[in-house]
Structure formats: structure tokens, C-alpha cells
Amino acid sequence: MKRALFLLAALAISACAAAQAPAPLAKATFAGGCFWCVEADFDKVDGVVSTTSGYIGGRVPNPTYAQVSAGTTGHTEAVEVVFDPRRVGYEKLLEVFWVNVDPTVKDRQFCDVGSQYRTGIFVHDDAQRRASEASKAALEKRKPFKEAIVTPIEPATTFYPAEEYHQDYYRKNPVRYGYYRAACGRDARLKELWGERAGSAAGK
């Protein structure tokens, strides 16, 4: 009897601990031109825990900003998004991604030209791939512009965080960031493409 009670108590404690344990976070990686802007866009999304600017999709280990911006490493600027799936789904992040980029051009975004500024969805598992492909296919049918969507969906490779001064740049240097974003024509082009949905943290 005592043994049975002990086992029941142990199971109850284990169940309580499991209930109190935080749910695992998930990761998504998106490339949308200048990572300062992409980071700022995703930081507005409820359920996003953190964003990190960095480099992905290249062939040189531990690349520097100087190397990547020169276009010699094969990397693109990207942002790694850590999110709480209980608060925001991957599908919603895809919706936010689309209306914050120009998916109609290859190897450039707005005023930034080169493969290091290409757009891309870098998937971490089969579920993300299926969701990304479904999202892209649906968007092709209802997009408010004529041009084709050329943003690729690729397997996530090693992501290298960018130098510290790039992290949260829009917060650390709001005036310079604001000037760059306006001068680059990002918001004007997004408005042209997406209308009222442009730049939305809700994706709709």
C-alpha cells in the first residue's frame, strides 16, 4: 500500500513538473534584404521571443560583414527568429514575411543590389517546408501584383550571427536606421506591392 501511494505521489509530482515546464520554442529563418529592417519587422510580432541578424546560405565559415557585403562568400543577410508556437504559428510568420519583402526580384531588395541581399525562406524541417510551399502557392493565386514570386525555399544551413553592432541596430541607432530605410525606398515599394497590408506585423 505504501509503495502504491509513493508511486502515485511520484507520478503526481512528475505531472505537475511537466505542466509547469515551459513549452519548447521554435526557430524560423528568413532573408529579406537588409537584416536591420527584417529584424525590426519581426520584433513587432506578438509571440516572437528574439531575433538575431546574421548570414546564411554561403560557403565560407564564420564570415564577416565585410566579406558578405562584398558578395564573395555566397551568404545572404538573414534573421533567425525564435518564437513561441503557443502564441504565434509558423504560418503567421510566413504571412508577416511576405508583406515585408519584395518577392518579385532576384539578388536584390530595394536599393541594395547583390546576391547577399536576396530573399529566401530557410526551412528547418519538413513541416516548415510544407507550410512554406503552401503559403507561396496560395500567395501566387491572390497576390495583388502581376510579377511572379521568385523567393526560393531552401533548407536551413549554418546560420552565423552578425557582429554585435548589427544586432538591434534600429534600436541603437534609430535616426540612422530611419534615414536608411526611407532613403532605400523600402516602405514605398512595399506600399506599391502590398497596399494597406504592406509592412504589417499581422501579415494581413
Residues designated as active site: 34
Distance CA 201, CA 204 (A): 8
125-133 contact pairs (CB < 8 A, 24+): 127/90, 128/28, 128/90, 129/153, 129/155, 131/90, 131/91, 131/94, 132/94
Distance CA 60, CA 65 (A): 12
198 CB-near residues (< 8 Å, 6+ apart):
99, 100, 187, 190, 191
Distance CA 31, CA 63 (A): 16
Distance CA 154, CA 118 (A): 12
